[in-house]
Structure 1
Amino acid sequence: MRFQLITALSVAATVSATNFFVSDYSGNVTTFSLTANNGTYALAQTFQTTECAPNPSWLTVDINRGLLFCLNEGLETVNGSLSSFTINRDGSLTHVKNETTISGPVNRVIYGNAAGQRAIALAHYTGSAVSSWLLQGEGKFELNQNLPYTLAQPGPNAARQDAPHEHEAITDPTGQYILVPDLGADLVRVFGWDVTTLVLKTLAPLKAAPGSGPRHAAFWNPYAVTGAGSPTYLYLVSELASTVTGYAVTYLPNGGGLNFTEVYKSSTYGLLNQPEGNAPAEVHVTPDNRFLVISNRNNTSFNLPESDGTVVPSDSLTTFRPLNDGTLAWVQIWPSGGLYPRQFSIDGTGSFVAVSNQYSQNVAILSRDVATGLIGEPIARMSVPGNTTCIMWDEWNA
């Protein structure tokens, strides 16, 4: 494995060692340690397992219970799978359980009573479904429900919208609802659930623009206060249209679901001209609730110099500042550190952005100025054996 060290600007001179987990399509889940010495950062692999093989697609850290859940997309198999691990203090993982799922799980969310019965809901891209699994403690789980979907006819983008393609599962800020963007059906599906069984109940969806291909979404509240009476906005990133759309969200009475009113739309490039074929992927609100960051794939907008004089092509990350009326103010576009940034994670302090650059088969750790929201130079990069799919900070040991 190769790595590059770059002195970071506007980052504290010393930090303690920090672990993060990386999945890649060659079958590995790897633990890396990020350490610093007077502003110089280094990455080192400390653990690796293939017990989520063959195609790990997404990782979830259950920070209150020291667990990691891994989804295997099963790119060349009939089914996918769900695996669980306990996280050890050194960042290594101990495998607990693996169960076969509907094909193509690519994202998940844990829901239910934080102090009682909980479940994990999976979004299945190729399987055109949502599934629910009851969590039984200590990493054990069992199937609760499968919800398959079909299309009466292909969507406007027939090559990508031949079937429903559930792409993500998130909860709203109050924890009452699950939202699942469906790239194939141009919907954001909305679910409530039975408080006893955690069986999902289908509610009225958000209908996105035809052919837009909803992929991922993030909620934002101007005052970081949850509740049905507080201003709430949803930012939906649509992969096929390469747009970010803001919706004002209101809560219907008696657990009846959500109402969405569009208040903003732009390309994910913001103020800059967007390259043809750009395909946005991930979106996050920063830990301080002040900025929104989106990853852009398939644009190769930057070239990064290497120490040997060569350059590395790079796609991009765009930063916006949400305003109180739900509109977005463009802040910055910056290299992601490689090609096809499928997913990224921001650490709890907001000082680092860890990017999984799928086609470069690398992870890039970028510095970030918390005050200005500007993302800075890569402080470290390292290759992984296969196409990188997900990177998550080890918040259990933070």
Structure 2
Amino acid sequence: MVDSANSYLLVGGYGAGVHCLRCDADGALSPVSVVDIADPSFVVHDDARGVLTAVVEQQPEGRVASARFTVAEGGSDVRDKTASGGADPCHLALHPDGTTLFVANYTSGSVAVFPLDEQGRVSGSEPAQLIRHSGSGPRTDRQEGPHAHQVVVTPSGRWVLSVDLGTDSVYVYEYDAAAGRLAQHGVIAVPPGSGPRHLAFHGSGRYFYLINELAGTVLVCSWDEAGGIGKAGAAVDSRAAADRERGGECWCAAIRVSADDRFVYTANRVDDTIAVFAVLEDGAGLEPVEVVPAGGSWPRDIVLSPDGGLLFSANQRSDSITVFRVDAGTGRLTPVGAPYPITTPSSVLPVSG
């Protein structure tokens, strides 16, 4: 019997399988089960159909793996023979209609499209469609070619956005539900050398926030859902003033918006910090609130609990997850307990019990 008073996390990483953790009301984490998938660096879960799907981030050819999974029963029937269509797949997204999966292949700079069967699992052994980005950026060490880092389905389900670090672009694709295919619609350009990594939508659907791994900034971008048109706007620093003055790289990572759309959170690697921003003007602006230590090294991903009361940080290089209490009024973070030990965590995902 699953205790409904607890919440649960799926943790992806490198070499250690997908871990399911229980989180009690005080923020304490404890193990529940492990799904045997290798190098599952990013994970999604279809709650309705009880299917876990992960990218297997490997070279020269990555894979997509899936398993039947519920918190009560754990994982079973693991399948991992589907080629991702490129090297180092690092992100994936389910379409809300339950028929299609999208995957970003980082090193190959491509987006793969997979049809899903009635069980919610990938059909076939390779992508039904593969779209390769092209171009480069001014940073020859990191932007020598395209590097697709994220795929996001927009609020209406009509558009799929692909964030490309290598070309300083967000590609906009129109999704044809009948055909299960994507058609390129446009490109949102960001300042050269920004190295965009991930984005997160404001609940209004009129703005999204784009974190730039190389520039150490967050861009407030406008979005027209009807026309599939976006535009990069003002930038705010993701780093603390002292870290900016120190110089060097930051390697910004994840970005999340609170469920009430009042706050935005970002993870900064190298600095090993988490930044908090207040959302202004119904989504049109961000104001810095604080930057706090992540409590571990290389915070690769952060996520908020469904009720917004806790924030979890997956600290890849210190093999730990830290937990923070979120102040509902100010958005500020307070560490809770000791870091939970887990090998090379790279993604965290809340799931229902």
Pairwise same-fold verdict (TM > 0.5):
yes
Q: Percent sequence identity over matched residues?
A: 25
Tell me if structure 1 keeps the 8 A contact 2:268–2:274. Answer: yes
RCO higher in structure (CA 8 A, sep ≥6): 1
Give the corresponding residue for 2:238: 268
Match of 1:69 among 53, 62, 77: 53
Q: 1:33 to 1:207 in 2, by over 3 A?
A: same
Aligned AA for 1:375?
L
Tell me if structure 2 keeps the 8 A contact 1:112–1:195. Answer: no
Q: How far did 1:219 drift?
A: 1.5
Tell me if structure 2 keeps the 8 A contact 1:22–1:389. Answer: yes
Give the corresponding residue for 1:48: 34
Listed one character per residue, the Cα deviations across residues 25-54 of structure 1 (whole Å, up to 9, x for unaligned) are 124211222235xx5x5432221233x21x
Q: How far did 1:380 drift?
A: 4.3
For residues 259 and 366 of structure 1, the distance between their equivalents in structure 2, rounded to whole angstroms, comes to: 33
Give the corresponding residue for 2:270: 298
For residues 19 and 193 of structure 1, the distance between their equivalents in structure 2, rounded to whole angstroms, comes to: 32
1:322 counterpart = 2:279: yes
Aligned AA for 2:192?
P
For residues 234 and 185 of structure 1, the distance between their equivalents in structure 2, rounded to whole angstroms, comes to: 19
- Match of 1:329, SS? strand
Give the corresponding residue for 2:103: 122
Give the corresponding residue for 2:113: 132
1:57-136 pair list within 5 angstroms: 57-74=41-58, 77-90=59-72, 92-98=74-80, 99-101=82-84, 102-111=86-95, 113=97, 118-136=99-117
Match of 2:229 among 258, 263, 271: 258
Give the corresponding residue for 1:307: none
Aligned AA for 1:371?
G
Q: How far did 1:165 drift?
A: 0.3
Match of 1:241 among 207, 210, 215: 215
Tell me if structure 1 keeps the 8 A contact 2:326–2:332. Answer: yes
Q: How far did 1:96 drift?
A: 4.1
Aligned AA for 2:256?
H
Listed one character per residue, the Cα deviations across residues 207-235 of structure 1 (whole Å, up to 9, x for unaligned) are 11111111001121xxx445xxxxx1121
For residues 261 and 391 of structure 1, the distance between their equivalents in structure 2, rounded to whole angstroms, comes to: 28
Give the corresponding residue for 1:343: 301
Q: 1:270 to 1:322 in 2, by over 3 A?
A: farther
- Match of 2:192, SS? coil
- Match of 1:84, SS? strand
Q: How far did 1:266 drift?
A: 1.8
Tell me if structure 1 keeps the 8 A contact 2:40–2:57. Answer: yes
- Match of 2:231, SS? strand
For residues 322 and 180 of structure 2, the distance between their equivalents in structure 1, rounded to whole angstroms, comes to: 38
Number of equivalenced pairs? 342
Q: 1:374 to 1:175 in 2, by over 3 A?
A: same
Q: 1:124 to 1:336 in 2, by over 3 A?
A: same
Tell me if structure 1 keeps the 8 A contact 2:253–2:300. Answer: yes
For residues 329 and 74 of structure 2, the distance between their equivalents in structure 1, rounded to whole angstroms, comes to: 33
For residues 197 and 90 of structure 2, the distance between their equivalents in structure 1, rounded to whole angstroms, comes to: 11
Decide which structure has the larger Cα Rg and report it: 1
1:159 counterpart = 2:141: yes
Listed one character per residue, the Cα deviations across residues 377-396 of structure 1 (whole Å, up to 9, x for unaligned) are 133422223x221111123x
Q: How far did 1:273 drift?
A: 5.0
Tell me if structure 2 keeps the 8 A contact 1:43–1:381. Answer: no
Tell me if structure 2 keeps the 8 A contact 1:271–1:330. Answer: no
Give the corresponding residue for 1:229: none
- Match of 1:359, SS? helix
For residues 145 and 296 of structure 1, the distance between their equivalents in structure 2, rounded to whole angstroms, comes to: 34
Q: How far did 1:137 drift?
A: 2.5
Give the corresponding residue for 1:306: none
- Match of 2:24, SS? strand
Q: Which runs of 5+ in 1 are unaligned?
A: 1-14, 227-231, 300-314
> Over aligned residue pairs, what C-alpha RMSD do you find?
2.0
Tell me if structure 1 keeps the 8 A contact 2:190–2:232. Answer: no
Q: What is the TM-score of this pair, normalised by structure 2?
A: 0.91
Aligned AA for 2:107?
T
Match of 2:258 among 268, 286, 297: 286
Tell me if structure 2 keeps the 8 A contact 1:97–1:140. Answer: no
Q: How far did 1:57 drift?
A: 0.9
Tell me if structure 2 keeps the 8 A contact 1:96–1:139. Answer: no
For residues 47 and 87 of structure 2, the distance between their equivalents in structure 1, rounded to whole angstroms, comes to: 27
Q: What is the TM-score of this pair, normalised by structure 1?
A: 0.81
Listed one character per residue, the Cα deviations across residues 273-298 of structure 1 (whole Å, up to 9, x for unaligned) are 52421121100111111111111110
Q: How far did 1:373 drift?
A: 1.0
